[in-house]
Amino acid sequence: MEKSKVISMKVLLIQPPMIIYPGDIPSVVPPLGLAYMAAVLEREGVKTKIIDAVADGWRHSRLFEDKPSHYGLGWTEIESIIQKESPDIAAISCLFSSQAKNAHKVAEIIRRVDKDIVTIMGGAHPSALPELVLADPNVDVVVIGEGEATVLELTKKLESKNVQLNEIEGIAYRDKTNRVRINPYRPLISNLDELPFPARHLLPMEEYFSAPAWHCRVVKHRRFTSMITSRGCPGKCTFCSIRTVWGRIWRSRSPESVVDEIEFLVEKYRIKEIHFEDDSITLNPKRMEKICNEIITRRLDIYWTTPNGVKITTLDKSLLRVMRKSGCYRLHFGIEHGDSEFRDKIIKKPISIEHARKIIKWAEEIGIWTDGFFIIGLPGETEETVSSTIEFAKELDLSTANFFVASPYPGTELYKTSLEHGYIPQDMDWTDMRTSNPVLNTETFNSERLQAWQQKAYREFLLYRLRKEINPLKMLKRIKNIKDFDDLKFLLEIVKNAL
């Protein structure tokens, strides 16, 4: 994209405050999607601001044990900021269906402040359910899929006063008859190296270094941040909604671009740890190896991990070694289920279990903490298949395991199946759509029994791990892999969280 003349339109990008439910852990992480969008807009001369209502307000938020909590800036504070900024366009992020209520509340506030502000909503939820989102008269446009090019084009069209919404790819809107129109999808960005680094200078970066984050309760260093090195996933997992935004075509940044950003983060923000938020960062193992070698060559003293998981089938012993040498200390594996037929036919994620066993064993031997992801409660699940998943998690000898209840996110095959068979109501309360809260009621499991089995899974695995860790040989191996104080601190934090 070539830089154009300065655009007078002002754009405000908004991360709404969160709804935190009893038992859930708050997550305060940089909204990279908004930061990428801001970077593209700024490059084109658009005056852009970001409100991260979660990061800006988490310190003053109170969590309740018996009811949902408002986590982030208060509504009056958000209204005051919108009034002060007086944007021409306001774009609201709504990644998760469980947070849609707050996203719509922000849209309501924007309309109250100034009815002429063009209000956009984007993210996984509106991308999957544009008609539902546009039933809210406070939302003018839904961005479907990747937002950078779409929001930029919309901004330029509004600037020129020549807005033909039907000509803009990748959006949904209401026409003059109030009918929802969904335009053709915008082609995915093929060359991710063309994108500037996320506009982190518009975010309260220091807040993220001390705020809680659910997927990284235990880290090597608190000065950590997130990065994305690739987009999309070719997998066909029936529970996954990632393709509603990124698509199934995997696209990646060059190793040089990735490590350039790491180096920038180290120099600018004194970052000590990177969390790669890709959905398939190891899909191309040669690229992964080049990234690791580039980190080593530049002598970047960082730790890194993969909270969204890696593709275990592309790993081997030599790649694990170079990953470890470059700073990898924890890997997450989406094993998903203990029953191979269930995994292949219901989840549609075939993997070689023998290969998975080898990778987990090798990772543990060289000092990489292994974390498994498992799903329970999918249609067809029985007590026997859940038990097989629990036993399988133990058998793999993972360091830790996560047992998520199946959530039929909009845009997934599981969502479609659940509606067709009546496993969820047609008028779904989206605040219930959380991996810690069972909503599926199938022929074999209701939500109450499923929650009990989830608790049983965690309890059994934890007791198993405690017995294993008490073993002198296992303890000796853990101690042997301690290279510095951060390693020791990480191990102690793991133990503390387990207890």
Going by the DSSP 8-state scheme, the letter that residue 5 receives in this structure is S
- Helices 317-325 and 353-365 pack at an angle, to 10 degrees, of 40
Query: How many other C-beta atoms can be found within 10 angstroms of the C-beta atom of residue 487?
Result: 17
- What pLDDT is stored for residue 1 in this prediction? 45
CB 372 within 8 A of CB 486: no
- The string of pLDDT tens digits covering residues 375-421 is 999 999 999 999 999 999 999 999 999 999 999 999 999 999 999 99
Going by the DSSP 8-state scheme, the letter that residue 17 receives in this structure is P
Strands 303-305 and 18-20: unpaired
Sign, Cα dihedral of 316, 321, 323, 328: positive
Residue 372: which H helix or E strand, with range?
strand 369-376
Q: Could you tell me the pTM of the whole model?
A: 0.91
CA-wise closest residue to 91 among 46, 57, 132, 55: 46
Going by the DSSP 8-state scheme, the letter that residue 265 receives in this structure is H
How far apart are alpha carbons 410 and 326 in whole angstroms? 37
How far apart are alpha carbons 122 and 34 in whole angstroms? 10
Q: What are phi and psi of 89, to 5 degrees?
A: -130, 135
207 CA to centre of own chain = 19
CB 121 within 8 A of CB 142: yes
Q: According to the 3-state scheme, what is the secondary structure of 472-492?
A: HHHHHHHHHCCCCHHHHHHHH
Domains of the chain, residue spans: 7-182, 217-498
- What pLDDT is stored for residue 128 in this prediction? 94
Q: What are phi and psi of 148, to 5 degrees?
A: -55, -60
- CATH topology classification for 217-498: pyruvate-formate lyase- activating enzyme (3.80.30)
How far apart are alpha carbons 432 and 441 in whole angstroms? 13
- Helices 485-498 and 447-470 pack at an angle, to 10 degrees, of 130
Task: Give the start-end residues of each E strand in 55-185.
Answer: 69-71, 89-93, 118-122, 141-143, 171-174, 180-182
Query: How many other C-beta atoms can be found within 10 angstroms of the C-beta atom of residue 116?
Result: 7
- What pLDDT is stored for residue 483 in this prediction? 60
- CATH topology classification for 7-182: Rossmann fold (3.40.50)
Q: Which residues of the chain have pLDDT under 70?
A: 1-5, 213-218, 470-499
- The string of pLDDT tens digits covering residues 97-136 is 989 999 999 999 999 999 999 999 999 999 999 999 999 9
CB 389 within 8 A of CB 408: no
